[in-house]
Amino acid sequence: MPMDQVIQASQEFLSAEGLPGWLVYDYRGLNPIFRQVIAPSGHVTRQCFFFIPASGQPRLLVHHVDAGKFADSGAALVVFRSRESMLEGLQGILNGLGTVAMEYSPMNALPRVSKVDAGTIELVRSLGVEVVSSADVMQHATQRWSPEQLEGHKRTTAKLGEIVNQAFSYIGERLGSGPTEFDVAEFIRTRFREEGLETPDGPIVSVNAHCSDPHYEPEEGTSSVIKSGDWVLIDLWAKSIAPPSSITGGDASPDTPLAGADPLSSPLAEEGPEGGPSVYGDITWVAYVGDSVPTRHQEIFDIVIGARDAALGFLEESHSKGGTVQGWQADAVAREYIAQRGYGEYFTHRLGHSIGGEVHSEAVNLDGFETHDTRRIIPGVGFSIEPGIYLPEFGVRSEIDAYMSETGPYATSPVQREVVLIRGGL
């Protein structure tokens, strides 16, 4: 998003929340949010402080040797040379403020938010200014998807839905020759290249007890052979190589929600996206190699998708009543659903994560377990919903992507309703 739009969104949020300003600090890439707010034209070697007030002109405190890298940014520059002049400049910027927001999380409760080192927090506080977390203003100003990003994400998740089902068919067609988990992962990576998708890692292809490791990835030579009677879990994530244009953070009118859709009937756009950063898609599906799903596996699958749907239903109901949900609250709904059915101890990770330019991105996570995410699920952000139950002998996870629109949340990816049956010779 262009800097002027980030500033406008920031100031709207700061004014509404009664915060006097947001101080975005960086030193040699310590804080990735900095470059999402103001982008230098080249390599920056010294500390930078970019201050966005609730109203008025933003100012950038920057060292003399780096000032030229921001000459075209449009920011008002406050140039320092020595540490003494840096402190004088920072004092001048913060003069009269009682509070400022920074990339800080009390007690490191939200590690994804804690980007500023403790010493810098101490420095700002020594100037008589209290530091509060920028978690919500950062999310509002930098993490909301543009309409183009949303549509590109939908195209990506539709492709992922097709590829995961093609992977299950690939297994069935090759059962007689003993396909391995690694073989299937290679097939998926090939399909990614053919469809113009990319990812730095993955996918997860696991069978039986390997499914009990949520982040298992098969390796050549050591992965399991897939055979009749096996339980199969595939988790795949990717984004488009040619990204959609991104012109503003915000919302787009949703297409018909995919929550009840046949995964193989999701429409795909033929034309490639153009310009701007792509947004990831991330889904997990499960299958059984055989003619009918064993009772135990079906029971666990039903509980997992029940928890998934309960969480999305909670978000829908809360929005319809005008309420705002924090990330931990959605997690609590799914966790309680699983616990009531006797499997709470086997749900060993958060309910979901933010999705954006990274598959695990910077906005709110659906998490009251690993952390206590109090950030609000605001219009314009995307996230996964992926409860799981991991027993010693097998694991089940069902992952969908969702988007909070102005008119309410909805699934943006294909949604698995039944266990896929893999039969030989398909």
243-267 mean pLDDT:
35
- The predicted pLDDT at position 1 comes to 72
d(C-alpha 376, C-alpha 317), whole Å = 15
| Rg of the chain taking only CA atoms, in angstroms | 23
212-238 mean pLDDT:
97
154-177: pLDDT as tens digits = 999 999 999 999 999 999 999 999
218-233 mean pLDDT:
96
Q: Which of 28, 115, 97, 32 is nearest to 63 (CA)?
A: 28
**Is the confidence at residue 50, as pLDDT, over 60?**
yes
Token pair 């890298």: residue: 69
Average pLDDT, the chain: 91
What is the CATH topology of the domain spanning 3-142?
Answer: Creatine Amidinohydrolase; Chain A, domain 1 (3.40.350)
Token pair 């995961």: residue: 164
77-125: pLDDT as tens digits = 999 999 999 999 999 999 999 999 999 999 999 999 999 999 999 999 9
Q: Which of 182, 189, 183 is nearest to 163 (CA)?
A: 189
3-state secondary structure of 86: helix
What whole-number percentage of the chain has pLDDT above 70?
A: 91
Strands (E), 120-208: 130-133, 197-198, 204-207
d(C-alpha 417, C-alpha 426), whole Å = 21
**Is the confidence at residue 319, as pLDDT, over 60?**
yes
Give the least confident one: 111-120, 257-266, 348-357, 394-403: 257-266
Give the least confident one: 61-75, 222-236, 252-266: 252-266
Question: What residue spans in the chain does CATH classification 3.90.230.10 cover?
Answer: 147-422
Q: Which of 123, 116, 121 is nearest to 131 (CA)?
A: 121
219-240 mean pLDDT:
97
Go through the chain and tell me how many residues it has.
426
130-149 mean pLDDT:
96
- The predicted pLDDT at position 257 comes to 33
- The predicted pLDDT at position 32 comes to 94
pLDDT bin (cut points 50, 70, 90) of residue 284 is very high
- The predicted pLDDT at position 277 comes to 84
- The predicted pLDDT at position 242 comes to 64
DSSP code of residue 232: E
Homologous superfamily (CATH) of 147-422 is Creatinase/methionine aminopeptidase superfamily (3.90.230.10)
3-state secondary structure of 308: helix
Whole-structure pTM value: 0.89
Instruction: Please spell the DSSP secondary structure of 118-133, one letter per residue.
Output: HHHHHHHHHTT-EEEE
The two tokens of residue 78 are: 């406050």
**Is the confidence at residue 269, as pLDDT, over 70?**
no
Beta partners for 205?
234
Question: What residue spans in the chain does CATH classification 3.40.350.10 cover?
Answer: 3-142
- The predicted pLDDT at position 262 comes to 34
18-31: pLDDT as tens digits = 999 999 999 999 99
Backbone angles phi, psi at 365, to 5 degrees: -100, 150
**Is the confidence at residue 355, as pLDDT, over 80?**
yes
